[in-house]
Amino acid sequence: MNARAQTPALGERVTIIVDGEEHRVPADTTVAVALLGLGVRAFRRSVSGEPRAPLCGMGICYECRVDIDGVADRRACLVPVVEGLLVRTAAGQGA
Amino acid sequence: MSTPRVDAVSVDVAVVGGGPAGIAAAALVAETGRRVAVLDASLEPGGQIWRHRRGSPAPAAARRWLRRLERSGATLFRESSVVDVRDTEGGRFAVTAERGVSPLAVNATTLVLATGARERFLPFPGWTLPGVVGVGGAQALLKAGLEVSGRRIVVAGSGPLLLPVAASLAAAGARVLRVCEQASGRAVRAFAVGLWRHPSSLVQAARYRLAFAKTPYAMGEWVTAARGDGRVEEVTVTDGRTERTMACELLAVAYGLVPNTRLARVVGCATAHGAVVVDEHQRTTHPRAYSVGETTGVGGVDLALAEGQVAASHILGRQVDPSLLRRRNALRAMASVMERAFAPRDELRDAVTPDTIVCRCEDVPSGALRAGWTMRQAKLYTRAGMGPCQGRVCGAALEFLHGWPADRVRFPVEPALLSSILAEAADHAAPPRTQGVSR
């Protein structure tokens, strides 16, 4: 089993960096839920500039895509949070 | 269960999808010593129905099967989204996946497609606002740890999922204001009667909990609009005569489930009524490809498990237990009763205005689409269904609104990283492709 699949202890928290700011978030969650918990509304901006956030919660709709560790357009609902994860959202890009 | 380290494996059977159907098929086949690979997009196996929070135990019903899979000898690839499947000249399937951000190639004689279902979303003004999520979507986010305590939530749409999801939101501390089921009370009661032989304790428990929380379950009521500044702030529902507007922070709305058939169509399996066509033994129209679970028609976890077991027996060349076949057939019959009861009503089309976005990836408004077109024309003229989700969200909506069936599937099935496409070209000795690389 790889390191990232290790089961976090109950109540454990990790630090993730969202749009340049450090946040402590529960370790047993996904990037999508962590961002919703931090009050992020605009995960991405649509073609016409609308703010978009998770719809399906299970990797189908691609509305929750953000930049994770330098890789663009990753589905936040499918990625677990890990210590030191770097996230960039549309909200953080002045959009 | 072994820990995969290599990025290319060769097996007897590749199972795409690690939900109940895929788990049952994989475990039974692997227990005989055959090499089986299970590819699943999620962090943990179990599919949507058995999804549970990381670090907390799986639902009791799931534990037995998850343990059985673990002990079966099958190799599980987590976080692995299949982007393409090809039937090679050597009589083998070449399955290409993205495991996280790395490519993964699985070569197999037999393919089991257990790709499950997704929610049916139907557009209405405001449905693109942050805070509008699916019903299963709300459940998935809740299971991933979403904090809903004190939040005002409206649950709407259609299907037997509404009540249990509303109940679990309420149990997590949310204020569920109303559950709006678009199907008429008569249709829902007919469904409940159809259930009499298999009383759903889940639905009953949900009704008790919601009754306790004084949450109304309104049948024959549907959403006409959501409004808000940058996020949902209020939602309007109607019963066709009277409108009701409620202030809320979250709207969970979806109209049942639709099978995920894209991979099956890539392989060339026939589909009918939106589901993969299978024979008595779960074989598709491709002689070495099977399909099990929601992919063959939405029917729930018990049916999925039965279908997985039937497919496994047939793959192993065993006589399929007649009682298992009878059970599967009974569950299938029940599923079609459910489908009829919760079919979306015509009035749902009336909520859509010309500027309502239909394709969320490309922001195509309803008014840009013409009634006489085909799905192909809609794609060419407006880019509807051409974005990253490849029509998974708008496809079912366009079928409902305009009667357009799905268009031919093109590679890649999932937006793929360039590295997987190049790796596929190298590994499967296929000519490199330049088309279809996602943005």
User: Model ipTM?
Assistant: 0.92
Q: Write out chain A residues lying below 8 Å of B54, CB-based.
A: 7-8, 28-29, 80
- Three-state SS for A24? strand
Looking at beta carbons, which residues of chain B come within 8 Å of A52?
128, 130, 360
When comparing pLDDT for B429 and A83, which is higher? A83
Task: Locate the chain B residue with the closest alpha carbon to A72.
Answer: B439
What is residue B188's predicted lDDT score, i.e. its pLDDT?
Answer: 83
Instruction: Read off the pLDDT of residues B343-401 as tens digits, 9 standing for 90 and up.
Output: 999 999 999 999 999 999 999 999 999 989 988 999 999 999 999 999 999 999 999 99
Report the alpha-carbon distance of residue B254 to residue B44 in Å, rounded. 24
- Which of A15-46 are b and which e, b meaning 16 or more Cβ less than 10 Å from the residue's Cβ? ebebbeeebebbbbbbbbbbbbebebbbbbeb
pLDDT at residue A1 above 50? no
Flag whether pLDDT at B59 surpasses 90. no
CB-CB contact of B154 with B131 (8 Å):
no
- At residue B201, the pLDDT reads 56
* Chain A residues interacting with chain B (CB cutoff of 8 angstroms): 1-2, 5, 7-10, 26-30, 32-33, 36-37, 41-43, 46-48, 50-63, 65, 71, 73-74, 77-78, 80
Nearest beta carbon to residue A80 from set B54, B146, B392? B54
Amino acid B72: pLDDT: 97
Average pLDDT, integer, range A29-45: 96
B415 vs A73: CB contact, 8 Å cut-off? yes
The share of chain B scoring above pLDDT 70, in percent, equals: 86
Question: Taking a C-beta distance cutoff of 8 angstroms, is the pair B157, B255 a contact?
Answer: yes
Q: How many CB atoms lie within 10 A of CB B419?
A: 12
What does the alpha-carbon distance between residue B24 and residue A3 come to, in Å, rounded to a whole number? 27
Q: What is the mean pLDDT of residues B206-214?
A: 71
* pLDDT computed for residue B184 by the predictor: 93
pLDDT computed for residue B137 by the predictor:
97
Half-sphere exposure of B234 (CA within 13 A, CB side): 6
Cα angle at B116 between B90 and B36, to 5 degrees? 40
B135-154 pLDDT, tens digit each: 999 999 999 999 999 999 99
Q: For the CA atoms of B395, B396, B402, B407, what is the dihedral angle to 10 degrees? A: 40
Q: Which residues of B touch A36 (CB under 8 A)?
A: 141, 146
Contact between chains at B361 and A55 (C-beta distance less than 8 A): no
pLDDT category at B213 given cuts 50, 70, 90 is confident
Among residues A22, A91, A14, the alpha carbon closest in space to that of B145 is found at: A14
Whether B22 has a pLDDT exceeding 90, the answer reads yes
Q: How far is A15 from chain B (nearest CA, A)?
A: 16
> What's the confidence (pLDDT) of residue A7?
63
CA nearest to B141 within chain A: A57
- Pick B141's closest partner by Cβ from A2, A10, A57: A57
Q: What contacts B198, CB < 8 A, 6 or more positions away?
A: B334
The shortest C-alpha distance from A46 to chain B (Å) reads 7
pLDDT higher than threshold 60 for residue B285: yes
Higher pLDDT among residues B229 and B188, named by residue = B229
